[in-house]
Amino acid sequence: MKIMMFAHSGSLNRGCEAIVRSTTSLIKEKLEGVNMFLASDNPDSDKIISTLDGIYNGSSRTLKRYSSSWFISSLRVKLLKDESYALGKIHDNIIKHIKEMDICLSIGGDNYCYGEQPGWYEINKRVKSQGKKLVLWGCSIGEEDMSERKLEDLKLFDLILARETLTYNMLKNKGLNNVKLCADPAFTMEKEELPLPEGWQEGNTIGLNFSPLVLNKNQQSKDAVRDLIEHILKTTNSTIALTPHVIQDGNNDFTVLQQYFKEFSDTRRVILLPPHLNAIQYKGFIARMRFFIGARTHATIAAYSNYIPTMVLGYSVKSKGIAKDIFGEEKLVLNLEEISNSKKLIDNFEELVNEEQEIKQILKSNIPNIKRMSYKAVEDLKELVK
């Protein structure tokens, strides 16, 4: 059986890498005779994932001005209001591989959170028109993200696997009967423990991840996070490990964290993890932290899955839903407005410290079930192909 994963931006986003790594491992562990292929916007970045059976360039193509395809596309859009031909040409790097596959797995977990996605809609239609199975894998979608057009697209899927209950319940309430509940596959991803850097305190290092994505949505959050760093340095003897998790051009955590490192390096209690580590190596460092504070969902998943008490900055439906499924409430998950409030950040950090043992116990009790829910996605996939 051949499965192609698509809707993947590349592994310079270590969360996307974590999804590909863990999905490939889960499926190959539970389904015999499966070959896993990946269509990627940045295929060179995915060569670090050795378990894949093939990597395709899945990036969008440009319609060259005045080419025959450009003329036909323009006429069809103008005269018939039909963008299907144009979208088919633009996304041909993915579409051309559909015929070879048995299942097409849309793995961009939150792609549906960012407005209309006509390109993905067109690819999905092409998958179904060729009689292939279509699966939305480990998704999160907010009520505010839904539209009639998106709902019609979601009806095309043979199986939608929602990675937390907020998305699951919302989609069920929309009348979709093709939805099953699972957990993010990255909860099951392995880790690699590299030597600890100079300045790391074993058992007393606090990880901090911050992202340009969150900063761009709330510029004042930069000062509030700085105040939080100062508070940690004044009130604890811990080391702070600044931890990037996405290193794409224009969306690079390292550049934001580097500014904090320059400000606080003289304290000798702030260290900056390098930007070239892969997802399992970052997870290896996060697993040895005492606490973790993070804006990137898959960095927080790396922490949760290793029983590290965690505080989430700038929530989305996925981070709200994941926390709710672990704790029964949206515990220590701050929204975009709250993270520019220094007092709110500091109060939540103090709650994290004061409830350290209780939180660890909840994680140790509930994470094994969350991991079972990750495996359940493969069981649902197996039922689909019977």
Q: How do residues 97-143 score in pLDDT, each as one tens digit?
A: 999 999 999 997 788 888 889 999 999 999 999 999 999 999 999 99
pLDDT digits (tens, 9 = 90+) for 148-187: 999 999 999 999 999 999 999 999 999 999 999 999 999 9
Handedness of CA 145, 150, 152, 154 (dihedral sign): negative
Query: CB within 8 A of 192, min separation 6: which ones?
Result: 278, 280, 281, 283, 284
Q: pLDDT digit of tens for each residue in the chain (386 aa)?
A: 999 999 999 999 999 999 999 999 999 999 999 999 999 999 999 999 999 999 999 999 887 777 877 767 777 667 666 787 788 789 999 999 999 999 999 997 788 888 889 999 999 999 999 999 999 999 999 999 999 999 999 999 999 999 999 999 999 999 999 999 999 999 999 999 999 999 999 999 999 999 998 999 999 999 999 999 999 999 999 999 999 999 999 999 999 999 999 999 999 999 999 999 999 999 999 999 999 999 999 999 999 999 999 999 987 888 999 999 999 999 999 998 999 999 999 999 999 999 999 999 999 999 999 999 999 999 999 999 88
Residue 231, CA distances (Å) to 225, 226, 334, 342 in order: 10, 9, 18, 10
Q: Is the domain 205-367 a CATH 3.90.850.10 member?
A: no
| CATH topology match: 2-181 vs 205-367 | yes
**Predicted local confidence at residue 78, as pLDDT:** 72
Q: How far apart are CA 315 and CA 320, in angstroms?
A: 6
Q: What is the reported pTM? A: 0.95
pLDDT of res. 80: 63
Q: How far is CA 341 from CA 29, 178, 228, in A?
A: 45, 41, 10
What's the pLDDT score for residue 314? 80
Residues 6 or more apart in contact with residue 50 via CB below 8 angstroms = none
Length of the chain: 386
d(CA 20, CA 98): 18
312 bridge partner residues: 294, 333
**Predicted local distance difference test score (pLDDT) of residue 120:** 94
CATH code 3.40.50.20 for 2-181: yes
Q: How far apart (Å, rounded) are the C-alpha atoms in residues 162 and 321?
A: 10
Q: Domain residues of the chain, as ranges?
A: 2-181, 205-367
